[in-house]
Structure 1
Amino acid sequence: MANEEFALIAQLQKDLGHVGKGVRLGIGDDAAWLDTEGRTLVSSMDTLVAGRHFFADVHPADLGWKALAVNLSDLAAMGAIPRWCLLSLALPPLAEGYGQWVQDFAAGWLALAERADVALVGGDTVATDGPLTLSITALGVVEQGVMRRDAASVGDLIWVTGTLGDAAAALDRAFVSRGLPGWALNCSETCAQALENRRLRPQPRLDFARAAVAAGVTCALDCSDGFLADLGHILQASGLRARVDLEHLPLSSALRECIDSDLQRLLRWPLTGGDDYELIFCAPPSLTGTLMALATNCALPITAVGEVLPADPHAAEDVDLYWQGQSLSLPMNRGHQHVF
Structure 2
Amino acid sequence: MNLPEKAEDTFIQRYFARLATDDGAFGLHDDAASISVPDHQDLIVSTDTLVADVHFFAEDPPAKIAQKALRVNLSDIAAKGARPVGYFLNLTLPDAFMRSDEWMSEFSHGLQQDQSEFNVHLMGGDTVRCANTGVITICAYGVVPTGQMVRRNGAEAGDRLYVTGTIGDAALGLLMRKAKLHGLDTIDQDIGDAIRALDPQIKRHTEDRYLLPQPRTGISSALLAHASAAMDVSDGLVGDARTLANASSVALKIHTDQIPYSTGLEILSDESILQRICLTGGDDYEILCTVPAGQCASFEDSAVAANIAVAHIGHVKSGSGVEVIGNDGKELSFSQSSYDHFS
Change (3 A) 1:286 1:202: same
Which amino acid in 2 is paired with 1:193? Answer: R
TM-score of the two chains, using structure 1 as the length reference: 0.91
Q: One-letter code of the match for 1:164? A: I
Conservation of the 8 A alpha-carbon contact between 1:71 and 1:137 = yes
Q: Contact 1:164 / 1:269 at 8 angstroms: preserved in 2?
A: no
Match in the other structure for 2:290:
282
Q: Does 1:162 align with 2:165?
A: yes
1:181 and 2:182 matched: no
Shift of 1:262: 5.9
Kindly report the root-mean-square deviation, in angstroms, between the aligned alpha carbons of the 2 structures.
Answer: 2.0
**Structure 1 pair 194–246 and aligned structure 2 pair: CA distance change class (3 A):** same
Deviation of 1:171 (Å): 1.0
Question: Could you tell me whether the CA contact under 8 Å between 1:195 and 1:254 is conserved in 2?
Answer: no
| Corresponding residue to 1:293 among 296, 301, 325 | 301
CA separation of 1:72/1:121 partners in 2, compared to 1, >3 Å: closer, same or farther? same
- Provide closer, same or farther for how the CA distance between residues 261 and 120 of structure 1 changes in structure 2, counting only shifts above 3 A: same
1:98 Cα offset (Å): 3.2
Which residue number corresponds to residue 250 of structure 1? 260
Q: Which residue of 1 aligns with 2:30?
A: 29
Matched, 1:130 2:135: no
2:24 equivalent to 1:13: no
- Please name the residue that 2:214 is paired with: 203
The separation in 2 between residues aligned to 1:35 and 1:202, in whole angstroms, is 29
Deviation at 1:24, TM superposition (A): 6.5
Q: How much does 1:174 deviate?
A: 2.2
Write the letter of the residue equivalent to 1:305: I
Mapped partners of 1:136, 1:193: distance in 2: 28
Preserved contact between residue 270 and residue 327 of structure 2 (Cα < 8 Å): no
C-alpha displacement at 1:190, in angstroms?
A: 2.0
User: How far apart are 1:280 and its partner, in Å?
Assistant: 0.2
Is 1:152 the counterpart of 2:155? The answer is yes
Per-residue deviation, residues 227-270 of structure 1 (Å, max 9, x unmatched): 000000111111111211111110010433xx543632354233
Looking at structure 1, the residues matched to 323 and 331 of structure 2 have their Cα atoms a distance apart, in angstroms, of 8
Looking at structure 1, the residues matched to 128 and 323 of structure 2 have their Cα atoms a distance apart, in angstroms, of 48
1:212 matched to 2:217? The reply is no
1:83 paired residue among 79, 85, 98:
85
Matches within 5 A, 1:251-270: 251-256=261-266, 260-261=268-269, 263-265=271-273, 267-270=275-278
Paired residue for 1:65? Answer: 67
Contact 2:280 2:338 in 1 (8 A): yes
1:269–1:131 distance in 2 versus 1, CA, 3 Å: same
* SS, match of residue 320 in structure 1: strand
C-alpha spacing 1:326/1:19, structure 2 compared with 1 (3 Å): same
In the TM superposition, residue 89 of structure 1 has moved relative to its aligned partner by 0.5
Deviation at 1:58, TM superposition (A): 1.0
CA–CA separation in structure 1 for the residues paired with 2:226 and 2:151: 12
Aligned to 1:315: none
Give the alignment partner of residue 234 of structure 1, picking from 216, 236, 244: 244
The change in CA–CA distance for 1:324 and 1:255 in structure 2 (over 3 A counts) is closer
Q: Aligned equivalents of 1:236 and 1:127: distance in 2?
A: 40
Q: Mark the runs of 5 or more structure 1 residues left unpaired by the alignment.
A: 313-317
Q: Displacement, 1:95?
A: 7.5
Amino acid at match of 2:123: V
What residue number does 1:141 align with?
143
Check conservation: 2:250, 2:316, Cα contact below 8 A. yes
Structure 1, 223-232 or 113-122: larger mean CA deviation: 113-122
**What is the identity, as a one-letter code, of the residue corresponding to 2:245?**
L
In the alignment, structure 1 residue 192 sits paired with structure 2 residue 207: no
Following superposition, the deviation at residue 3 of structure 1 comes to: 4.2
Instruction: Indicate the larger mover: 34-43 or 152-161.
Output: 34-43
1:99-141 CA distance string (max 9 Å, x none): 2212101121122221111100100001111311111110111
The amino acid across from 1:8 in the alignment is F
The count of residues paired between Structure 1 and Structure 2 equals 328
Read off the aligned partner of 1:134 and give its amino acid letter: I
Structure 2 gap ranges (5+): none
Cα distance change, pair 15–176 in 1 and its aligned pair in 2 (3 A):
same
Partner of 1:109: 111
TM-score relative to the length of structure 2 = 0.90
Residue aligning to 1:322: 325
